[in-house]
């Protein structure tokens, strides 16, 4: 079986077998990466990979996963960015009686604007 040498940020060069890694390809932008768990320190490691590296790894028997960018990236966002204060206000709101009606009312007012 092919031995693959990769680099762990903590341990340096480590030796892996093909089934120790996974290659991930994003079908939206065709970017590639690979990931493995370091055999020495057990930390997960993920690195960007060029097309050439992806081809070499897949050709060595590394399994490939294809993934898509989250659909939320295509959504348009209106209004100001949420702040930590907004989050605290929302947390306090959720502790009050009738929080659901308050949220529904706020959403309804926002839609009417």
- In this complex, which beta carbon is closest to Zn ion, that of residue 3 or of residue 81? 3
* Cβ neighbours for 27, distance < 8 A, ≥ 6 positions apart: 66, 67, 68
- In this complex, which beta carbon is closest to Zn ion, that of residue 38 or of residue 54? 38
Stretch of residues binding Zn ion (CB under 5 A), selected from 31-39, 66-74, 95-103, 104-112: 31-39
Interaction of residue 23 with Zn ion, rule CB under 5 A: no
Contact pick of 7, 27, 37, 41 for Zn ion (by CB under 5 A): 41
- In this complex, which beta carbon is closest to Zn ion, that of residue 40 or of residue 89? 40
Angstrom distance (rounded) from CA 62 to CA 31: 17
Cα distances (angstroms) measured from residue 15 to each of 3, 21, 40, 42, 71: 6, 11, 10, 13, 37
Contact pick of 11, 46, 88, 104 for Zn ion (by CB under 5 A): 11
- In this complex, which beta carbon is closest to Zn ion, that of residue 9 or of residue 98? 9
Q: Identify whether the C-beta of residue 35 lies closer than 8 Å to the C-beta of residue 20.
A: no
Q: Which of 1, 38, 32, 36 is closest to 22 using CA atoms?
A: 36
Residues binding Zn ion (CB under 5 A): 8, 10-11, 38, 40-41
């Amino acid at each position: 079986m092919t031995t693959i040498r990769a680099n762990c940020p903590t341990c340096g060069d480590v030796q892996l077998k093909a089934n120790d890694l996974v290659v991930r390809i994003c079908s939206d932008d065709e970017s590639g990466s690979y990931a493995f768990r370091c055999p020495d320190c057990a930390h997960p490691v993920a690195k960007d990979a060029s097309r050439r590296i992806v081809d070499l790894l897949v050709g060595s028997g590394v399994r490939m996963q294809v993934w898509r960018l989250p659909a939320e990236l295509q959504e348009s966002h209106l209004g100001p960015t949420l702040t930590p204060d907004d989050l605290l206000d929302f947390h306090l709101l959720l502790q009050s009686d009738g929080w659901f009606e308050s949220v529904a009312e706020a959403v309804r007012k926002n839609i009417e604007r």
